[in-house]
Amino acid sequence: MIEKERHIKELYDLNHRKDKFLNEGFDYENNLVSKIFSNVMFGNPTLNNFMGLLQKNMVWMIESTLVIKNWWNYTVDKHSNHNNN
């Protein structure tokens, strides 16, 4: 998410069109909040909108720690999120 937002969408897609990453793990960018909270909470429209905002913030917190992980590895972009561990 952070890596993709830093670039122009068309150029990012052009540069990464042949990337093949296997075994990415859990798709936390789309499913994090739905796995943590109860389905009853998503029935309320106001709370559902809030959960969407909460989802974005939680994903940003997870991906902001990747800068620390990529700090010493100068061969990859510091905002790259293609780490398996």
User: Can you give the pLDDT of all 85 residues of the chain as single tens digits?
Assistant: 666 777 788 887 887 788 776 666 777 888 888 888 888 888 888 898 899 899 999 988 887 777 777 777 777 776 676 665 4
pLDDT of residue 16: 74
pTM: 0.58
| 41 and 47 Cβ atoms separated by less than 8 Å | yes
